[in-house]
A and B are shown apart, each in its own frame.
Chain A
């Protein structure tokens, strides 16, 4: 199906474990983003990517790793999960700010609980 999909939708993991959240988009958008949503903070940018093999830190990158070997995929890895990483994670993609690119498109979100 066309669009942007995240998996899993829900995940419970234990402190110290590695967990990877997947994001896949079918539009061949250049830009992809990971945000986390926490009460009172809105959404904050974790990492973003301007193209395959190009990634950069956002506002809250500590404890996260990303990769982008293919344009359509942008996985987010928590190397050693902590309770403070309990959050809802949103992946987004965008074609850029050029003509016709009016918005970033968001996935459905992944609710991650670290116990």
Chain B
């Protein structure tokens, strides 16, 4: 069965520090998708990124970057020069290709607090 582990339950940094959120996953499928979602204090879930299992290229989007390593079953998320607005709960999630509808298995989430 699929599983997603976010070992860091809470991280606190000072503004402008870089921070990496860890995500480790388990799946028996060879085709799967990995996601990151952000949940700000207002409560909604904001989609950040989706990667498929055949694309191990790292991705950068502004201050956000993602490091996908199949060898270690990890999909880590780095925020460079963190800002107070980055304070949120971040969820890593997995969807196996056998579940055609983007059915997601979530990690427990990491609460990031960025202090001014």
Contacts and interface: CB of A to CB of B under 8 A. Distances in A.
Interface of A: 30-31, 33, 35, 40-45, 48, 50, 58, 88, 90, 92, 94, 96-97, 101-106, 108-109
A103 B105 CA distance: 13
Contacts, number: 66
Given A97-B33, A103-B35, A109-B44, 10 more contacts: A30-B101, A42-B6, A42-B109, A43-B91, A43-B93, A45-B103, A88-B43, A105-B47, A106-B37, A109-B43
Contact of A96 (B35, B91, B101): B101
Contacts of A45: 103-105
A41 B95 CA distance: 17
B43 A104 contact: no
A31 B103 contact: yes
12 contacts: A30-B101, A31-B100, A31-B103, A35-B104, A42-B91, A42-B109, A43-B104, A44-B106, A96-B101, A104-B104, A108-B43, A109-B43
